Chain A
């Protein structure tokens, strides 16, 4: 049973660039949530996707956008990167019907903005 997978593992970008991170949910899950985890802090909710639509959004600017595909996988896009966007980006998946509240996390993508 494949768990949540994310790619790439690490990424280095420069200020002003754009980045796309990818996530495949755990088998049987249809909902994907994205979190940003700054060094030494707890994860902060960015947004959640279900049925290819954004269901809820955290306190993040419009530079952060996402997409969910028919196979439930998801992308997180960040435009006009800032130094402060350097963080571990975590994807979590869940099933909307059956344990909706329990989210399982992927290994994350470490983004460094120079």
Chain B
């Protein structure tokens, strides 16, 4: 069974600074997908970024980028120029290539301070 671990329950960062959220996963699959989702206090889960395991290049979406290390089974999220609106719970999630369900980590609460 696949598992996803987020070892940082809470983090804080000053506005305009950079922060990195950690995620590790365990799987015997060779190909799969990894995701970061954001859940603000209003609770709507929003897709932040998506990575396909067979792609070497790290995904980037504006201020959000990932550091995908397949051999180490690590998938961290870097948020640059943090904004107050980035305050949320962030979930790392995994899906095997031919799977149907997302497996989520426990989440990291990120607080951006002014």
Residues in A lying within 8 Å of B, measured CB to CB: 33, 35, 40-45, 48, 55-56, 58, 88, 90, 92, 101-108
Smallest CB-CB A-B distances: 7 pairs: A42-B104, A105-B45, A45-B101, A56-B100, A101-B33, A107-B44, A48-B100
Contact status A107-B95, CB under 8 Å: no
Q: List B residues 70-114 near A (Cβ within 8 Å).
A: 91, 93, 95, 97, 99-107
Contact status A41-B100, CB under 8 Å: no
A113 → B minimal CB distance (Å): 18
A29 → B minimal CB distance (Å): 13
Q: Which residues of B contact A48 (CB under 8 A)?
A: 100-101
Residue from B4, B50, B100, B103 in contact with A102 in the complex, judged by beta carbons closer than 8 Å: B50
19 A-B contact pairs sorted by A residue (CB < 8 Å): A33-B100, A40-B107, A41-B106, A42-B91, A42-B106, A43-B91, A48-B100, A56-B99, A58-B101, A90-B45, A92-B45, A101-B33, A101-B50, A101-B97, A101-B99, A102-B35, A102-B47, A102-B50, A107-B44
A56 to B102, CA, bound (A): 12
Q: Which residues of A contact B104 (CB under 8 A)?
A: 42-44
Contact status A88-B43, CB under 8 Å: yes
A58 to B2, CA, bound (A): 13
B54 → A minimal CB distance (Å): 12
A24 → B minimal CB distance (Å): 15
B57 → A minimal CB distance (Å): 18
A1 → B minimal CB distance (Å): 15
Contact status B43-A42, CB under 8 Å: no
Q: Which residues of B contact A107 (CB under 8 A)?
A: 42-44
Contact status A45-B103, CB under 8 Å: yes
Contact status B102-A103, CB under 8 Å: yes
A interface footprint on B38-49 (CB within 8 Å = 1, 0 otherwise): 000011111100
Known: A103-B102, A107-B42. 15 other contacts (CB 8 A): A33-B102, A40-B107, A41-B106, A42-B91, A42-B93, A42-B104, A42-B107, A48-B100, A48-B101, A90-B45, A102-B47, A105-B44, A105-B45, A105-B46, A108-B43
